[in-house]
Structure 1
Amino acid sequence: MSGPSPATSSAPHGGNIVLRAIGLLSQIAGVVSALLIVASVAVTCQMIFIRFVLNGSTIWQTEGVTYMMIAATMLGLPYVQFLRGHVNVDLLPLMLPPGARRVLAFVVMACTLGIAGLMLWHGYHFWHEAWDWGETSNSPWNPKLWVPYLALPLGFGLYALQIAADFYAMSREIEEPFGLAPDARLTPEGAE
């Protein structure tokens, strides 16, 4: 057994309205992330058409696609966490008894929350500095940089919020540590 089944792989809420609201925010961020990816593909196709079919020059497309893909990545963080889609190596959790597995899950979540909080803090300062100073890019398009930089604190803020919701759900036993049943254990091959 290697985690939750695909039918139950999203963050459980146990009827808690706050956990449901945070899950909804994560899903909205996922939809925005997907739309940004679709938009960046469309802009890339438009850029290729202008350059190679019309033999024209492009000004904003490459930079715009880069900003959209970075924003899609940042806004996709909470959605992937909501779906339990991040890489999960469950060898150690499967070897541990349920109590130790629970402790490990809390330690992992606390560390992840700390790192997400640190990235949120630095992302906010990065964004605020660009907004406060009116920074623009060094390109012919010259957009205000606070707009694409906003994806950093927004993405990591929503990610930290989803992790905090997962931490709460696990502490209230709405969700099992690592999505594993308490009796899930790693057994040697051939053992009965």
Structure 2
Amino acid sequence: MRLFIRVISAISQGLGVLAAALLFSAVLSVSHMVFVRYALGWSTVWQTEYTAYAIVAATFLGAPWVLIVKGHVNVDIVQMAAAPPLRLAMQILAALFSLLFVALLAYAGWVHFEEAWSNGWTSETVWAVPLWMPLLPMPVGTVMLALQYVAEILRLFLDGADPVEPQPVLFSETTEEVRP
């Protein structure tokens, strides 16, 4: 089980690096587009479409890594107040519901990808990208996110509940007088 957790986590971290590279390439693409349009006065063909596809791909492919670092939106005020056994049960239950949602999303993503592949769909732009390419990150990312949820559930069973980390203090106890 620990091997499964390590392998899935390593793949998720690799996808996180790939997502970062995709975001960086999107920044370069936008920079290129601005230079070509405004400095050279030329029209652009592929930059806007590539940037949109790269950002969406980064979102799906980076999601498993975000789960590892606990970066997904999580309302944990009740978990923070709960005793460790109840916190563990709540974390497992939340992960199971999330796994169900992600599995359904992965299935829908696969169906959409397969339809684009089988029918030879292309984008309706001058670039005419085969749409299976920008659709592929959705099933890949969601399947990996589902596997990362399985790894997280196994880790919860093996190691217990995640510790409750105190949140940073937003306001101090003392206030200072503000002078104009």
Shorter-normalised TM-score: what interval?
0.7 to 0.9
Structure 1 unpaired stretches of 5+: 1-12, 185-192
Q: Deviations over 1:120-154 (max 9, x none)?
A: 00000010000010000111111100000001000
Report the aligned-residue RMSD. Answer: 1.6
Matches within 5 A, 1:6-17: 16-17=2-3
Q: Deviations over 1:154-185 (max 9, x none)?
A: 0101111111000011112x2x324338xx9x
In structure 1, the residue matched to 2:28 is 42
Aligned with residue 153 of structure 1, among 132, 135, 139:
139
In structure 1, the residue matched to 2:18 is 32
Q: In 2, Cα distance between the equivalents of 1:178 and 1:122?
A: 31
Aligned with residue 55 of structure 2, among 48, 53, 69:
69
In structure 1, the residue matched to 2:83 is 97
Identity %: 33
Contact 2:85 2:161 (C-alpha < 8 Å) held by counterparts: no
SS of aligned partner of 1:179: coil
Query: Structure 1 counterpart of 2:24, which letter?
Result: V
Q: Deviations over 1:5-55 (max 9, x none)?
A: xxxxxxxx9xx2221111100110000000000001001100111100000
Matches within 5 A, 1:110-149: 110-149=96-135
Structure 2 unpaired stretches of 5+: 167-180
In structure 2, the residue matched to 1:168 is 154
Q: In 1, Cα distance between the equivalents of 2:14 and 2:84?
A: 34
SS of aligned partner of 2:48: helix
Judge which range, 27-36 or 91-100, deviates more: 91-100
Query: Quick check: 1:20 aligned with 2:6?
Result: yes
Q: Deviations over 1:95-143 (max 9, x none)?
A: 2222222221111011000000010000000100000100001111111
Q: In 2, Cα distance between the equivalents of 1:154 and 1:96?
A: 35
In structure 2, the residue matched to 1:82 is 68
Aligned with residue 164 of structure 2, among 170, 180, 187:
180
Contact 1:90 1:178 (C-alpha < 8 Å) held by counterparts: no
How many pairs are equivalent?
Answer: 166
Matches within 5 A, 1:43-58: 43-58=29-44
Contact 1:117 1:160 (C-alpha < 8 Å) held by counterparts: yes
Query: Structure 2 counterpart of 1:179, which letter?
Result: P
